[in-house]
Amino acid sequence: MRNTPQSIRLHIALFGRRNVGKSSLINALTGQNLSIVSETPGTTTDPVLKAMELLPFGPVVFIDTAGIDDRGALGQQRVEKTLKMIDRCDVAVLVIDNRWDHYESELLKRLQTQRIPTIVVFNKSDQHPPDLNLVRKLERQKIPWVKTCATSNEGINALKEQIMRLAPDKSQIQPTIIGDLIHPGALVVLVTPIDLEAPAGRLILPQVQTIRDILDHDAFCLVVKERELKYALAQLKNPPALVVTDSQAFLKVAADTPQNVPMTSFSILFARLKGDLTVFVQGALAIERLKPDSHILIAEACTHHVVGDDIGRVKIPRWLRQYVGAPLNFTHVQGHDFPEDLSRFDLVIHCGGCTINRRLMQSRILKCKEAGVPITNYGVTIAYSLGIFERALQIFPEALEAYKQEQTF
Amino acid sequence: MRNTPQSIRLHIALFGRRNVGKSSLINALTGQNLSIVSETPGTTTDPVLKAMELLPFGPVVFIDTAGIDDRGALGQQRVEKTLKMIDRCDVAVLVIDNRWDHYESELLKRLQTQRIPTIVVFNKSDQHPPDLNLVRKLERQKIPWVKTCATSNEGINALKEQIMRLAPDKSQIQPTIIGDLIHPGALVVLVTPIDLEAPAGRLILPQVQTIRDILDHDAFCLVVKERELKYALAQLKNPPALVVTDSQAFLKVAADTPQNVPMTSFSILFARLKGDLTVFVQGALAIERLKPDSHILIAEACTHHVVGDDIGRVKIPRWLRQYVGAPLNFTHVQGHDFPEDLSRFDLVIHCGGCTINRRLMQSRILKCKEAGVPITNYGVTIAYSLGIFERALQIFPEALEAYKQEQTF
């Protein structure tokens, strides 16, 4: 459990005004002195993330935020960072000290718009019991509430239980990679070319995660390089349930895999895992509608060091320029700098998102939808550039349908 | 290449008196300002390790050491740390500034005793050309020498070439895990139980490394949990070339694997990789000769946090006490604290050594041999405790022979 990546943990964010006791509540929830707590309003500046085990649920991340009533130019920046956390949280805790005016109303409205399950916490209940009018109002709106006192631990367990009750199903936080596509006892063939870029003595993480997911679903797999695939398949009494290959080897693998055997790529599996495969397929097809000087946003979740033949900076822009046969405009963003205004873009191409949680990727997809901008990701773009959609999408009928519909235009 | 673990890099150590220019030489060899260089003798205190690529050889580690003529109580400690590096280096560079007396003679003798290929470097050759008598003496002993000037880069390439010439074959630095046991096109079955200790979404490193080694040797593998093994084997037209399983599942896997199929455990493969399987098998058999109050050294290569059911601190001592049916004495060492005097021990049990290089493990085995103390490792001890030697050693005739010989006593 200690090694669970942050990206597949349940994200729980605490929001509220300055000095309502958000940090003290997180300390009480986690039993650790993780946030700086003081009597001066506005001690938490940048959001603080803390990973822990919340039993019996499992791995979670608590997000401590700055007060939504923070002031001044700097305060305004902090409020913006706080509001960005709405995109990342699976559950929201709105902490109040009995006051309820436009700060609370507006925040609740934003959370409801984004469909974040929300709990209202009346903290510092030793100083003032919950306002009964407010309680009635929340109950009418079916918003759960809890009365707590962070210093005496009152209500902390009730809050934990309420969080667990509202938490989305684990399958939404981290759906299965491949388990839902196969039955127990199925044999999956994984084709893993070993090229010069692969670190010595290792496999790349998506391959390892896929093997593990297959074993977790009581199935098993044959791991083979593309060169030995044909020979390996000949060793089997029956055809495998599914063949998954690295995109780079797709055409060779397709030639060596019998037509009646379902086949897809790791990039398609992982696009589905974090994002929305159908949306991404539609997004890739929007490449056909790019024009000279179209504007493309390339978004990367992590701030990695840019290397010579960088996929987002070099490879995809080069291929797109060649494909469109004209100059294009690219904007690159990294980390959490996803633009609020997407209207000026004709297409968004996102990285695989291995370091961010599914909620944040879903938020970004939603923002693109609302702005009417198509979105796709690196893996799906590459799959499209290689012309493998028809075969690789066969086991995903909805995405295949989306592809075929666009083809008929 | 960037990700190559330190443990499988060629280790090159530079030895010599203070202020002969060892750090400057490493800077010249690596082209980086890695060591602190000064005119004051004795600037390098603890040995400094620097990983880099030495083309065309590949991944290496340079070890910069303190002067062997260091003085005072602290100096003596530094000299001891320096001499310990002899156990870890694959190639030694003895740097001199034309002086040669007991410091150099003694160091050379130690290096020769441990059969470390050694180059003598006449550094600062701009200040004094190599002493011809000394050169003749080295040549009579067939010890290669190079003339260098670290500040002008003179001789640096010649030194690199000489290091490459003396470097042991890559197969000695990191032999294959499994590749020599199988032929191209072979099908290997890997049985990987998923227990609660396995981190979510991952496989443990030895399993990943074994898969990669199989692919690197143009073979392929079926990865399966122990529960599905029987069913998976039934899917194959021909029996597999080899079955490898986690030790914990050995008995169940042995029952489900046809008798004519070779079978072994990951622990046996990895004991062979780092150590000497035959010596370790003999070492495990020495458990039979333990008596009440026998003294056992448990050596761990890394200083990991000791957990509740720690294998070296708890599991192996508990099993040994039960097996011998009497109290035993255990001494635990971690990191590089391997005792010089082993005579008081009846048995040494080493960890798998995944973080240290093969040379250091071989040095420790040699020290045990010289002291007449049997040595084994965790994996082989566990395999022995489970009673699986006969079957798991079948593909290693020498180790099996050693086992059978002891059995006849």
pLDDT digits (tens, 9 = 90+) for A226-283: 999 999 999 999 999 999 999 888 999 999 999 999 999 998 999 999 889 999 999 9
Is A232 part of the contact surface with chain B (CB cutoff 8 Å)? Answer: yes
The minimum CA-CA distance between B236 and chain A, rounded to whole Å, is: 5
Gap between the Cα atoms of B32 and B332, Å rounded: 38
pLDDT of res. A331: 95
Mean pLDDT estimate for chain A:
88
Beta strands A187-191 and A220-224 are parallel
**b/e sequence B267-302, b meaning 16+ C-beta within 10 Å:** bbbbbbbbbbbbbbbbbbbbbeebeeebebbbbbbe
Beta strands A242-245 and A187-191 are parallel
Query: Shortest CA distance to B48 belongs to which of B98, B96, B11, B3?
Result: B11
Contact A268, A379 (CB under 8 A): yes
Beta strands A58-64 and A48-54 are antiparallel
Contact B91, B63 (CB under 8 A): no
**A265: part of which helix (H) or strand (E)?**
strand A263-265
CA-based R_g, chain A, Å: 24
Gap between the Cα atoms of A108 and A142, Å rounded: 13
User: Pick from A214, A221, A225: which is nearest to B215 by CB?
Assistant: A225
Sheet holding A347-350, edge to edge: A329-334, A295-300, A347-350, A375-377
Per-residue DSSP letters for A45-85? -S-EEEEEEETTTEEEEEEE---TT--HHHHHHHHHHHHHG
pLDDT of res. A49: 85
Which residues lie across from A9 on neighbouring strands? Answer: none
Count the Cβ atoms, other than its own, within 10 Å of residue B236. 16
Domains B6-173 and B179-261 share a fold: yes
Contact A155, A147 (CB under 8 A): yes
CA-nearest residue of chain B to A239? B235
Contact B280, B382 (CB under 8 A): no
Mean pLDDT of A131-135: 93
Spell out which residues of chain A touch residue B188, defining contact as CB-CB under 8 Å. Answer: none
Is B236 in contact with A235 (Cβ distance < 8 A)?
Answer: yes
- Report how many Cβ contacts below 8 Å link chain A to chain B: 112
Nearest 5°: phi and psi at A144?
A: -65, 145
DSSP B374: -
DSSP B331: E
pLDDT of res. A98: 87
Q: Is B63 exposed, middle or buried (0-12, 13-18, 19+ CB in 10 A)?
A: buried
Q: Domain boundaries in chain B?
A: 6-173, 179-261, 269-408
Cβ partners under 8 Å of residue B333, min gap 6 = B297, B298, B299, B300, B339
The minimum CA-CA distance between A224 and chain B, rounded to whole Å, is: 5
Categorize the per-residue pLDDT at A40 as very low, low, confident or very high, splitting at 50, 70 and 90: low
User: Pick from B208, B221, B224: which is nearest to A202 by CB?
Assistant: B208
Q: Does domain B269-408 have CATH number 3.40.50.11410?
A: yes
The minimum CA-CA distance between B88 and chain A, rounded to whole Å, is: 21
Domain A179-261's class?
alpha beta
Is B220 in contact with A199 (Cβ distance < 8 A)?
Answer: no
Query: Shortest CA distance to A270 belongs to which of A407, A405, A392, A386?
Result: A392
Long-range contacts of A289-293 (CB under 8 A, 24+ apart): A289/A346, A290/A320, A290/A324, A290/A328, A290/A346, A290/A347, A291/A324, A291/A326, A291/A346, A292/A324, A292/A326, A292/A327, A292/A328, A293/A326, A293/A327, A293/A328, A293/A329
A residues 236..255 contacting B (CB < 8 A): 236-238
Would you state the CATH architecture of domain A6-173?
3-Layer(aba) Sandwich (3.40)
Gap between the Cα atoms of A286 and B376, Å rounded: 62
pLDDT of A39 over the 70 cut: no
Gap between the Cα atoms of B310 and B315, Å rounded: 6
Note the pLDDT tens digit of each residue in A291-326: 999 999 999 987 665 666 678 888 899 999 999 999
Gap between the Cα atoms of A351 and A334, Å rounded: 10
Spell out which residues of chain A touch residue B237, defining contact as CB-CB under 8 Å. Answer: 234-237
A49-63, A104-118, B26-40, B120-134: least confidently modelled range: B26-40
Query: Shortest CA distance to A135 belongs to which of A165, A98, A93?
Result: A98
Is B5 part of the contact surface with chain A (CB cutoff 8 Å)? Answer: yes
Note the pLDDT tens digit of each residue in B335-389: 878 898 999 999 999 998 877 888 889 889 989 999 999 999 998 998 899 889 9
Best mutation target, B174, B215, B227, B304, to test chain A (most A CBs within 10 A): B215
Spell out which residues of chain B touch residue A231, defining contact as CB-CB under 8 Å. Answer: 185
Is B225 part of the contact surface with chain A (CB cutoff 8 Å)? Answer: yes
Gap between the Cα atoms of A84 and A135, Å rounded: 28
pLDDT of res. A308: 61
pLDDT of A1 over the 50 cut: no
B residues 195..224 contacting A (CB < 8 A): 199-203, 208-209, 211-216, 218-224
Q: Angle at Cα B285 formed by Cα B283 and Cα B286, nearest 5°?
A: 65
CATH of domain A276-408: 3.40.50.11410
CA dihedral A153, A156, A158, A163 (to 10 degrees): 180
Query: To 10 degrees, what angle do helices A266-274 and A378-385 make?
Result: 150
Contact A330, A298 (CB under 8 A): yes
Categorize the per-residue pLDDT at A349 as very low, low, confident or very high, splitting at 50, 70 and 90: very high
Spell out which residues of chain A touch residue B210, defining contact as CB-CB under 8 Å. Answer: none
Q: Where are the beta strands (DSSP E) in A67-160?
A: 91-96, 118-122, 145-147
Task: Render each residue's pLDDT in chain B as its tens digit; 409 residues.
Answer: 345 667 778 899 999 999 999 988 988 887 765 555 555 566 666 788 888 777 667 788 899 998 999 888 888 888 888 988 998 899 999 999 989 999 999 999 999 988 899 999 999 988 888 999 999 999 999 999 999 998 888 999 899 989 988 988 776 777 899 999 999 999 999 999 887 556 677 888 889 999 999 999 999 999 999 999 999 999 999 999 999 999 888 999 999 999 999 999 998 999 999 889 999 999 999 999 999 999 999 999 876 656 666 788 888 999 999 999 999 999 999 887 889 899 999 999 999 887 788 888 988 998 999 999 999 999 899 889 988 999 999 999 999 999 998 776 5
Cβ partners under 8 Å of residue A203, min gap 6 = A192, B208, B211, B212
Is B1 part of the contact surface with chain A (CB cutoff 8 Å)? Answer: yes
Contact A238, B240 (CB under 8 A): no
pLDDT of res. B1: 36
Cβ partners under 8 Å of residue B127, min gap 6 = B97
Gap between the Cα atoms of B327 and B311, Å rounded: 18
pLDDT of res. B264: 96
Handedness of CA B190, B191, B194, B198 (dihedral sign): negative
